[in-house]
Amino acid sequence: MAVAYMPLGTQEELRQQIIDVAIDRAFLQEPLPANEADFKQRVQDGRGRLTLIANEVARMAGVILTEYATAARKIKDTKNAPEATKDAGEQLQS
């Protein structure tokens, strides 16, 4: 995945993004805990799911990066519609 992510950033940035999303999904979903007991329950519940969530986020990131590389390659290989390929490239970068 790090190789596929190279046009977008570093391996460490990719790793950190996967971790951030996994933590967000495991612990920071609304509604946030309103008291200490709810907080402790959220931590306990999140710990049990964190690895599973991180693996799913990483799997999905791999799929997205594969699709990104395919789209980028198709845009690069298209020669007969320069305005459309420019627009598509800009949208892909967004």
Integer angstrom CA distances of residue 47 from 4, 24, 42, 51, 92: 29, 12, 8, 8, 35
Q: What is the mean pLDDT of the chain?
A: 94
d(CA 55, CA 33): 25
Q: Is the pLDDT of residue 23 over 90?
A: yes
Rounded mean pLDDT of 27-48?
96
Other beta carbons less than 10 A from residue 76's beta carbon: 10
pLDDT tens digit sequence for 69-91: 999 999 989 988 889 999 999 99
Q: Is the pLDDT of residue 40 over 90?
A: yes
What is the torsional sign of CA 43, 45, 50, 56?
negative
Rounded mean pLDDT of 34-56?
96
pTM: 0.80
